[in-house]
Each structure stands twice: as C-alpha cells, then as structure tokens.
Amino acid sequence: MTAMSTFPELLDFIQNRMRMSHIYQPVMLTTLIKGGGTASVEEIASQFAQRDQALIEYYSRITKDMPGRVLGQNHGIVTAIRGACSA
C-alpha cells in the first residue's frame, strides 16, 4: 500500500474514485488528516464507532437495560432524565 503524496492526488481520489457506500473511507481520511497524516488503528476504529448509528442505538439499549437499571432502580445511584443519566 502506498500513501498519496500530494493534496491534488488526495482531492482527485475523493472527488473521482472514492466510493461513498459507507462512512469508513471518509472517516478514515478525516481522522488521518486531523492527526497530521497518521493515526493508530484504535483511533480510526474509535471514530468509526462514534459515527455508527446502529452501534450507538445498540449501546443505548444496553445502557438503559443493564447498568442503568441496576445502578438506578436496584441501587439508587443514578437517575434517568429524558434520555440521559444523572448521578
């Protein structure tokens, strides 16, 4: 794999060759640009997770059903307030 060396090459790729079937390519490029040209695999994966609506909805349900319910109803440590939690 070779990296693009110039801004015009990157721009040409984005405008003419990049497929926008999912968020992965633009998110990876954005993360690399914000990181000055480098980013760890974990940083890129974290950016994917932050933008994956299905994953966010899944973990929202987990939050309400498991730790939210146990810490709230069972132990009185947290309170649910219109889609948020308060300690």
CA distance 68 to 15: 44
pTM recorded for the entire structure: 0.66
Write down the pLDDT at residue 3.
Answer: 65
- Judged by phi (left if over 0) then psi (alpha if -120 to 50, else beta), residue 3 lies in beta
pLDDT digits (tens, 9 = 90+) for 23-39: 899 999 999 999 998 99
pLDDT digits (tens, 9 = 90+) for 10-27: 889 889 998 877 789 999
Q: Where are the domains of the chain?
A: 1-51, 53-87
